[in-house]
């Protein structure tokens, strides 16, 4: 198209410049004062918890094994050495079992009490080392032997001092009869007897622990608690009498 006889020149269009690479969106940076400076949370470490759990399970497993061996399982086979010792021990244990089952321990030093205490001393090794099934029926002998050995040996020095009293009280005389002490004597005079022992004898905590333990065993042997309960039921007044 001509204008004024001259051809109008067209203006060149500006070239568009495209950035090299992908377009990037900028995010406004958080101000320094508003930033959280605490460290990022660490992943939970379960190592300690696992170790504690494993230790607990191992301890429980060992406890079950110990209980199983000591209280549930019984050895069925004796070694050759045990068989040899058993031949020596069995006659002694049989005689001692008969004696302890037919004799009631007494507080005075009687010949039969000394004899049983001596026999108990002779079979201590048998009772402590043999664990064959054949000898399990003698498992009550150690407790009975300790009772005889205490009253015949451990209590001997105190007994001598009490016997030397010029005018011993009634409770001392009651306990020194050469016969088993009855339940009535125990309940009536035991406190007085304890006091006399404390005043005359040299005692310790171990002495009194043994004394009280063997008194309890003695009362069980002669069925003292059952007898006293029956007497209390008879003596108790009836409701109709009130």
Using one digit for the tens of pLDDT, what is the confidence trace for 162-175?
989 988 999 999 88
Residue spans of the domains in the chain: they are: 76-154, 158-232
Examine the pLDDT at 112 and tell me if it is beyond 70.
yes
Helices (H), the chain: 47-67, 80-102, 111-122, 124-129, 141-149, 156-163, 170-175, 183-200, 205-221, 224-235
Using one digit for the tens of pLDDT, what is the confidence trace for 116-130?
888 888 887 776 655
Using one digit for the tens of pLDDT, what is the confidence trace for 200-211?
998 888 888 888
Which pLDDT belongs to residue 194?
Answer: 92
Kind plus residue range of the DSSP H or E element containing 223: none
């Amino acid at each position: 198209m001509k204008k004024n006889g001259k051809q109008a020149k067209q203006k060149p269009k500006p070239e568009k410049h495209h950035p090299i690479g992908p377009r990037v969106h900028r995010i406004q940076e958080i101000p320094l004062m508003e930033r959280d400076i605490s460290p990022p949370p660490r992943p939970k470490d379960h190592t300690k918890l696992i170790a504690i759990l494993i230790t607990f399970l191992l301890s429980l497993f060992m406890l079950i094994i110990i209980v199983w061996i000591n209280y549930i399982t019984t050895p069925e086979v004796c070694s050759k050495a045990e068989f040899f010792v058993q031949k020596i021990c069995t006659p002694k244990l049989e005689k001692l079992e008969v004696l302890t089952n037919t004799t009631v321990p007494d507080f005075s030093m009687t010949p039969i009490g000394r004899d049983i205490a001596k026999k108990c001393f002779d079979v201590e090794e048998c009772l402590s080392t043999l664990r064959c099934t054949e000898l399990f029926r003698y498992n009550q002998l150690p407790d009975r032997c300790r009772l005889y050995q205490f009253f015949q040996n451990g209590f001997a020095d105190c007994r001598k001092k009490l016997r030397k009293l010029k005018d011993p009280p009634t409770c001392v005389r009651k306990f020194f009869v050469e016969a088993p002490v009855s339940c009535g004597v125990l309940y009536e005079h035991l406190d007085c007897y304890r006091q006399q022992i404390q005043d005359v004898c040299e005692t310790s905590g171990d002495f009194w622990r043994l004394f009280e333990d063997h008194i309890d065993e003695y009362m069980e042997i002669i069925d003292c608690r059952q007898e006293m309960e029956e007497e209390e039921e008879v003596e108790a007044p009836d409701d109709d009498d009130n």
